[in-house]
C-alpha cells in the first residue's frame, strides 16, 4: 500500500464517518513558541484550550510536521525523521472514548479492499494508563481497558503504563487526559516477546489516542501534575504516524525505505556508485540524504529560505548535511539537481503545492548548494589539517582559533565544525571560539569608526577618557557653555588646530547626541572667541567619551578654550520625530505579527526611518495598511512619551523590550509611549508626545537577509511632501487617461489585462511559427553514428521551447534521436535537450547532455534522462553550446 494511498484511506474513512476534512497547515505556523509545526494537533490547539470556538464537532487531517531535536539520530535508527506526516481524527465535545477506540480498531483491521488498512487483529497490542500512577486515577484508565476488550483485544495484549507514556498534557496548566497507544507486533525477528513494555522495536507504536477530559491546575513534569476538575466537554485528539504505518504495510525495515523516500536513496546510491545495504556507514549517509532532501523540499515549499537564524538555519543545516553526506560518499559534483526533483515527483502526489512552488524551491536549494560547495572545498582542507595537528600533538580538543578561522574565513557554521570533530573523536574549545567572536564584534565597531573618519586606534580616546566621562546634557538642553578637553588629529592628541583643518574635539560636556541606537548624530556649531566650527559627526569611540568631528572654518583651537556648543534645533526635532516613530512601528508590528517580530536593527534621521525586524514572510498589502493605520492612531491619540532611569531588572519586570545583542549596564533608560503600549530600553532622543510627529507614511517593505524584513517610512514634513507628490502623480495620470482619480486603478488594470492578452497572442504566433519550422529542423538533422541529431537556435523560450523540443523528438520516429534547442534572449538563454527511447538505449541521457550545453552558456542544467533543461547568461555562445552537445552525442 503506497504512502499516498494510506493517507487517502485514513482521511476517507473519517470523512465517511462524519468528520470535516481540514487541510494541513503550513509548516511555518503563526505561533511564536514554535519554529515549525511539531504535531498534528497544533492547528487545533486553540479549540482544545478554549481560546477559540471549534468550527466543527469532528474533524480529520493529514498534517505536515517537522522535528529536529533528534537530527543527529537520523539514519541511525528505524524511525527518526525530520519531516513526517501525522494523520489524526478530532472530536470537540462530540464523541469520546468508546467511538475513538471503535473507529481506530475498525480502520486498522478492516481489509484494504473494504476501505481499511488491513492489519491482522492478532498483531495489535495497546497500552493504557495503568493503576497507581495518579490519585485521580487510582485504578488507571479502567474504561479504556474495557472498551479495548469489547472490540476484540484480549486482556493479555492490553498493557498498563505510567503517566509519562499514557497521560497527555501540554506541559502547562490546561487540558489533559489519559491516552491509549496502539502497537503492531512485527514478529520475533525484531526482538523479544512481551509487548511494548518489553521491546518497542518489535512492538512499534503507530497511533496514539488522547482522551482529553481533565483541566490541569499545575504541571511540574510529565508525571507530576495536579488535576483541578473535569473539562466541561470531553475531546478526542489522535495522531497516527503515516511513515511508520507505511513501512509496516510496505514490508520494509525502516521509514527510509518507504516509497516516498527510498527512490531518493536509490538515486543517491547511483550517483555515488554504492549499493544500499552493502555497508552500514554508507547506508546511514544515504538515509540522511533521503530524509533531509525530503524535509528540505517541504520546508522550501512552505516558504522557508536558508539563513543563519531560526527556521532558515534549520533548513540550511538540512541542505548542507545532505550535500556533505554525498561528499562523504564520494560525490563532489552538485547533487540537489539530481535528488530534489525525485523527491518533488514523489511528494507532489499528496501535496500539490510542491509542484506549484517548484521554481522558487529549486532555485533556493541549488543556490545554497553552490554556496556550500565553495565553503566545503576550502574549509574541509583547513579542518583536516587542524584536526591532524591536534592529534599529532596528543590533544583531543580542536582549538577555538581553528574553529573561528573556519567560521570567519571560510563560512563554516560552528555546528558543522562540532559535527566533523565528533566524527574524528575530537572536541572543540567552544569557550575560546565565543571569545574570538566577541573580539570580532569589537573590531567591527572599530571599522565602523574608521568609516566615519575616526581613528582606528583607541589610545588617544582612552587618554582623554582618563580625565572623566563626557556629560551629555542634550536630553534637556540644545546649547551648552563648556570647555575643550582635548583635540585629536590622525589618531593622536594634538596641542592646537588651525583654520581649514578637520579634527576631533572632546568637550567637558555636550548637548550633541552621538550616533547610537539607530539614531543619527546631531549637527550644529561650536563657537569660541575668534573660532567657528561646523559639527560634521558625533560618535562614542570608547564608552563614556563623546567625540565631535568638526571642520574649523576660522580661527584657532586649543585645549582649555571656552566654547559654546549649539545643536541645530530643526535637525534635532526631526530626529526625535523619526526615533519615536520607530518605537511606534515596532509596537504596531508586534500587535500585527506577534512577539516574534522583534527588532533586528534600525536607523533614523530627520524625516526618515528604517526598521528591521525578524520575519520569514513579506508583509502583505493588508498588513502594511494595518501597521500604517495603527501608527496613525498612535500619533493621533497624542500618547505621552516619557523616559525613566531604573535598574535593568526593574525594566525587565515591566516588560521593556531590549535590542538583541546589545549590552546594558545595571542602570538603564526605559522609554514609554502611552504607558505599557510601548516600553523599550533606549538612549535616544524623543518627542514629548506622539502628536508632535504629525504624519507617518510607509514607503517600502523588503528583505534585507534571511529571516529579516525591513520597513521604511517618512515622517513629518517629509511624509507630507511624499503624499503631495503621489497625489500630483495620481491627478496627472488621471488627466492623461481621462478618468476620475477613483477610477484610475480600474483603468490601469484594464490596460494591463489588454497588454497581457496582446503578449499571449504574440507568444502564440511565435509558437506557431516555431512549430512551422519543425520540418526544416528535421530536414537538417545530422546522422551521428546512427543517431539523428537536431541542434538549432529556435525562435521560442520557456515552456514553448520545451514543448517544441518534445514535438521534434516525437517526429523523429523510431530511429535513435537527440534534440537540442536553445532559445530566449542573449542575456538569459534557455536550453532544452530531448532524447527518445532508442537513443536512451544507446546510453544517451538528456540530463547529462543539457549540463554540457548549459555550461557553454555560462549556466547549469539538469533533468530526467528523456527531457532536461537549463539556462545560462551568454546566448552569444549558442553555436558553441550546440557544438558541445553534438560532440557529446558523437562520443556517446
For residues 376 and 260, the model is more confident at 260
Q: How confident is the model at residue 451 (pLDDT cuts 50, 70, 90)?
A: very low
Q: Is 109 within 8 Å of 39 (Cβ atoms)?
A: no
pLDDT of residue 382: 79
**Highest mean pLDDT: which range of 5-14, 302-311, 666-675:** 5-14
Q: Of 151-160, 561-570, 654-663, 802-811, where does mean pLDDT reach its minimum? A: 654-663
Cβ-based neighbours of 166, under 8 Å, separated by 6 or more: 127, 128, 129, 130, 141, 160, 178, 179, 180, 181
**CB within 8 Å of 285: residues ≥ 6 apart:** 75, 325, 326, 328, 329
102: confidence class by pLDDT, cuts 50, 70, 90:
very high
Would you say residue 447 has pLDDT above 60?
no
- Rounded CA separation 445/212 (Å): 55
Q: Is the pLDDT at 785 greater than 60, yes or no?
A: yes
Per-residue pLDDT, 31: 67
On the question of pLDDT at 810 being above 50, the answer is yes
Bridge partners (DSSP) of residue 504 are 488, 549
Q: Is the pLDDT of residue 875 over 70?
A: yes
pLDDT for the residue numbered 248? 95
Is 583 marked within a binding site? yes
pLDDT of 637 over the 60 cut: yes
Q: How are beta strands 158-161 and 124-129 bridged, if at all? A: parallel
Q: Is the pLDDT of residue 708 over 80?
A: no
Please tell me whether 777 is known to bind a ligand.
no
- Residue 724, pLDDT > 50, answer yes
Q: What is the DSSP letter of 188?
A: G
Q: Which pLDDT tens digit goes with each residue over 562-600?
A: 999 999 999 999 999 999 999 999 999 999 988 778 787
Q: Is the pLDDT of residue 809 over 70?
A: yes
The whole-number pLDDT of residue 12 equals 96
Is the pLDDT at 26 greater than 80? The verdict is: yes
For residue 668, give Cα distances in angstroms to 413, 645, 648, 682, 684.
Answer: 34, 6, 6, 8, 12
User: What was the pLDDT predicted at 661?
Assistant: 39
CA dihedral of residues 83, 86, 92, 93 (deg, nearest 10): -130
- Could you give the residue ranges of the DSSP H alpha helices within 302-429? 310-328, 336-347, 353-356, 358-392, 400-410, 414-423
Question: How would you write 724-767 as a 3-class SS string?
Answer: HHHHHHHHHHHHHHCCCHHHHHHHHHHHHHHHHHHHHHHHHHHH
* pLDDT digit string, tens, across residues 280-297: 999 999 999 999 999 999
Q: Highest-confidence range of 406-415, 496-505, 765-774, by mean pLDDT?
A: 496-505
Kindly indicate the confidence band of residue 305, based on its pLDDT and cuts at 50, 70 and 90. Answer: confident
Which string of DSSP letters, residue by residue, matches 426-469? -EE-HHHHHHHHHHHHHHHHHHHHHHTT--S--HHHHHHHTT-P
- Asked whether residue 660 carries a pLDDT value surpassing 50, the answer given is no
pLDDT of residue 94: 95
More confident residue, 99 or 47: 99
CB-based contacts of 648, cutoff 8 Å, min separation 6: 664, 665, 666, 667, 668
pLDDT at position 309 is 72
Does 682 belong to an annotated binding site? yes
Q: Which residues make Cβ contacts (< 8 Å) with residue 149, sequence separation at least 6?
A: 155, 158
Question: Mind listing the domains of the chain with CATH numbers?
Answer: 3-257 (3.30.930.10), 262-394 (no CATH), 459-567 (2.40.30.130), 573-723 (3.30.980.10), 774-891 (3.10.310.40)
Distance CA 555, CA 560 (A): 15
Lowest mean pLDDT of 1-15, 97-111, 451-465, name the range: 451-465
User: Over 80: is that where the pLDDT of 308 sits?
Assistant: no
865-875 mean pLDDT = 92
Provide the pLDDT confidence category of residue 311 given band limits of 50, 70 and 90: confident
With a cut of 70, say whether residue 456 has pLDDT above it: no
Determine the pLDDT at residue 659. 61
> Does the structure show a pLDDT above 90 at 71?
no
Please tell me the distance from the alpha carbon of residue 672 to that of residue 685, in angstroms, as a whole number.
12
Report DSSP state, residue 17. T
Is 880 or 420 the better-scoring residue by pLDDT?
880
pLDDT tens, residue by residue, 514-538: 998 889 999 999 999 889 999 999 9
Identify the CA nearest to 805 among candidates 838, 837, 770, 853.
770
Q: Of 24-33, 105-114, 544-553, 832-841, which gets the smallest average pLDDT?
A: 24-33
pLDDT the model gives residue 641: 95
80 annotated ligand-binding residue: no
* C-alpha distance from residue 876 to each of 221, 405, 425, 820, 858 (Å): 68, 42, 53, 16, 11
Q: Which residues of 187-215 are buried (b: 16+ CB within 10 A; e: fewer)?
A: eeeeeeeebbeebeebbbbbbbbbbbbbb
Per-residue confidence at 21, pLDDT binned at 50, 70, 90? Answer: very high
* Tens-place pLDDT, residues 334-391: 999 999 999 999 999 999 999 988 988 898 899 889 888 877 776 777 788 888 888 8
- Residue 542 is predicted with a pLDDT of 83
- pLDDT (tens digit, 9 = 90+) per residue, 394-424? 888 988 888 887 777 666 767 678 878 888 8
The pLDDT of residue 445 is above 60: no
- pLDDT, mean over the chain: 89
- Collapsed DSSP state (helix, strand, coil) of residue 610: strand
Q: What is the pTM for the complete model shown?
A: 0.53
Of all residues in the chain, the percent with pLDDT exceeding 90 is 61
Q: Check residue 171 and give its pLDDT.
A: 79
Q: Are 84 and 69 in contact (CB under 8 A)?
A: no
Amino acid at each position: 500500500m503506497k504512502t499516498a494511498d494510506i493517507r487517502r484511506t485514513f482521511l476517507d474513512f473519517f470523512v465517511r464517518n462524519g468528520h470535516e476534512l481540514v487541510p494541513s497547515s503550513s509548516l511555518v505556523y503563526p505561533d511564536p513558541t514554535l519554529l515549525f509545526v511539531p504535531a498534528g494537533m497544533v492547528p487545533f490547539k486553540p479549540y482544545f484550550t478554549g481560546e477559540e470556538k471549534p468550527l466543527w464537532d469532528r474533524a480529520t487531517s493529514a498534517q505536515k510536521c517537522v522535528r529536529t531535536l533528534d537530527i543527529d539520530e537520523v539514519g541511525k535508527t528505524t524511525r527518526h525523521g525530520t519531516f513526517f506526516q501525522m494523520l489524526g481524527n478530532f472530536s470537540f465535545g462530540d464523541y469520546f472514548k468508546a467511538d475513538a477506540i471503535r473507529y481506530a480498531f475498525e480502520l486498522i483491521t478492516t481489509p484494504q479492499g473494504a476501505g481499511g488498512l488491513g492489519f491482522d487483529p492478532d498483531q495489535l497490542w495497546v497500552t493504557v494508563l495503568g493503576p497507581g500512577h495518579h490519585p485521580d486515577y487510582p485504578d488507571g484508565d479502567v474504561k479504556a481497558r474495557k472498551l479495548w476488550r469489547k472490540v476484540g483485544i484480549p486482556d493479555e495484549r492490553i498493557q498498563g503504563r505510567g503517566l509519562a507514556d499514557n497521560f497527555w498534557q501540554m506541559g502547562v496548566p490546561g487540558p489533559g487526559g489519559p491516552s491509549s497507544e496502539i502497537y503492531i507486533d512485527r514478529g520475533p525477528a525484531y526482538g523479544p516477546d512481551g509487548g511494548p513494555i518489553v521491546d518497542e522495536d518489535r512492538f512499534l507504536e503507530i497511533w496514539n489516542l488522547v482522551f482529553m477530559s481533565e483541566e490541569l491546575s499545575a504541571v511540574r513534569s510529565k508525571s507530576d501534575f495536579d488535576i483541578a476538575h473535569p473539562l466541561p466537554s470531553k475531546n478526542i485528539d489522535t495522531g497516527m504516524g503515516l511513515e511508520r504505518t507505511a513501512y509496516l504495510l510496505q514490508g520494509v525495515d525502516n521509514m527510509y525505505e518507504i516509497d516516498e523516500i527510498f527512490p531518493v536513496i536509490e538515486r543517491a546510491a547511483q550517483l555515488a556508485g554504492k549499493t544500499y545495504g552493502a555497508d552500514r556507514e554508507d547506508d546511514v549517509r544515504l538515509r540522511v540524504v533521503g530524509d533531509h532532501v525530503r524535509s528540505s523540499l517541504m520546508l522550501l515549499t512552505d516558504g522557508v529560505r536558508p539563513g543563519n537564524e531560526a527556521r532558515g538555519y534549520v533548513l540550511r543545516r538540512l541542505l548542507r548535511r545532505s550535500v556533505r553526506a554525498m561528499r562523504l560518499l564520494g560525490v563532489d559534483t552538485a547533487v540537489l539537481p539530481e535528488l530534489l526533483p525525485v523527491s518533488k515527483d514523489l511528494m507532489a502526489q499528496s501535496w500539490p503545492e510542491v509542484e506549484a512552488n517548484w521554481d522558487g524551491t529549486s532555485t533556493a536549494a541549488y543556490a545554497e548548494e553552490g554556496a556550500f560547495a565553495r565553503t566545503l572545498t576550502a574549509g574541509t582542507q583547513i579542518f583536516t589539517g587542524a584536526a591532524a595537528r591536534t592529534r599529532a600533538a596528543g590533544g583531543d580538543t580542536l582549538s577555538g582559533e581553528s574553529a573561528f578561522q573556519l567560521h570567519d574565513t571560510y563560512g563554516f557554521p560552528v555546528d558543522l565544525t562540532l559535527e566533523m570533530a565528533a566524527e574524528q573523536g575530537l572536541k572543540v574549545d567552544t569557550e575560546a571560539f565565543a571569545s574570538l567572536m566577541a573580539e570580532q564584534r569589537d573590531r567591527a565597531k572599530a571599522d565602523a569608526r574608521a568609516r566615519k573618519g575616526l581613528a582606528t586606534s583607541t589610545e588617544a580616546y582612552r587618554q582623554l577618557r582618563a580625565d572623566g566621562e563626557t556629560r551629555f546634557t542634550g536630553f534637556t538642553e540644545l546649547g551648552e557653555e563648556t570647555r575643550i578637553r582635548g583635540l585629536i588629529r590622525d589618531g593622536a592628541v594634538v596641542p592646537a588646530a588651525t583654520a581649514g583643518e578637520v579634527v576631533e574635539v572632546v568637550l567637558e560636556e555636550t548637548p550633541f547626541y552621538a550616533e547610537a541606537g539607530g539614531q543619527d548624530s546631531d549637527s550644529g556649531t561650536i563657537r569660541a572667541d575668534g573660532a567657528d566650527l561646523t559639527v560634521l559627526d558625533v560618535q562614542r569611540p570608547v564608552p563614556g567619551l563623546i567625540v565631535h568631528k568638526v571642520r574649523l572654518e576660522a580661527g584657532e583651537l586649543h585645549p582649555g578654550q571656552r566654547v559654546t556648543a549649539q545643536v541645530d534645533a530643526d535637525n534635532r526635532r526631526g530626529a526625535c520625530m523619526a526615533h519615536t516613530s520607530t518605537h511606534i512601528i515596532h509596537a504596531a508590528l508586534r500587535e500585527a505579527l506577534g512577539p516574534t517580530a522583534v527588532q533586528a536593527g534600525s536607523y533614523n534621521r530627520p524625516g526618515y526611518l528604517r526598521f528591521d525586524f525578524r520575519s520569514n514572510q513579506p508583509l502583505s498589502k493588508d498588513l502594511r495598511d494595518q501597521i500604517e493605520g495603527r501608527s496613525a492612531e498612535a500619533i493621533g491619540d497624542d500618547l505621552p512619551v516619557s523616559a525613566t532611569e531604573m535598574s535593568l531588572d526593574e525594566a525587565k519586570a515591566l516588560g521593556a523590550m531590549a535590542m538583541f545583542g546589545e549590552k546594558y549596564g545595571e542602570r538603564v533608560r526605559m522609554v514609554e509611549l502611552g504607558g505599557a503600549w510601548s516600553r523599550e530600553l533606549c538612549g535616544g532622543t524623543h518627542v514629548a508626545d506622539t502628536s508632535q510627529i504629525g504624519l507617518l507614511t510607509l514607503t517600502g517593505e523588503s528583505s534585507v537577509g534571511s529571516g529579516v524584513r525591513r520597513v521604511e517610512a517618512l515622517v513629518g514634513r517629509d511624509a507630507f511632501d511624499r503624499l503631495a507628490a503621489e497625489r500630483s502623480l495620481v491627478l496627472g495620470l488621471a488627466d492623461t487617461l481621462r478618468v476620475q482619480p477613483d477610477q484610475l486603478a480600474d483603468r490601469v488594470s484594464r490596460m494591463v489585462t489588454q497588454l497581457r492578452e496582446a503578449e499571449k497572442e504574440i507568444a502564440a504566433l511565435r509558437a506557431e511559427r516555431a512549430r512551422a519550422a519543425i520540418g526544416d529542423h528535421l530536414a537538417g538533422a545530422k546522422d551521428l553514428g546512427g543517431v539523428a541529431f537536431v541542434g538549432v537556435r529556435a525562435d521560442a523560450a520557456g515552456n514553448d521551447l520545451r514543448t517544441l523540443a518534445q514535438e521534434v523528438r516525437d517526429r523523429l520516429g523510431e530511429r535513435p534521436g537527440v534534440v537540442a534547442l536553445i532559445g530566449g534572449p542573449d542575456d538569459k538563454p534557455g536550453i532544452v535537450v530531448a532524447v527518445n527511447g532508442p537513443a536512451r538505449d544507446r546510453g544517451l541521457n538528456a540530463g547529462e547532455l543539457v549540463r554540457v550545453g548549459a555550461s557553454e552558456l555560462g549556466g547549469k542544467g539538469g533533468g530526467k534522462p528523456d527531457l532536461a533543461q537549463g539556462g545560462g547568461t551568454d546566448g552569444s555562445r549558442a553555436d558553441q553550446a550546440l557544438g558541445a552537445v553534438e560532440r557529446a552525442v558523437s562520443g556517446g
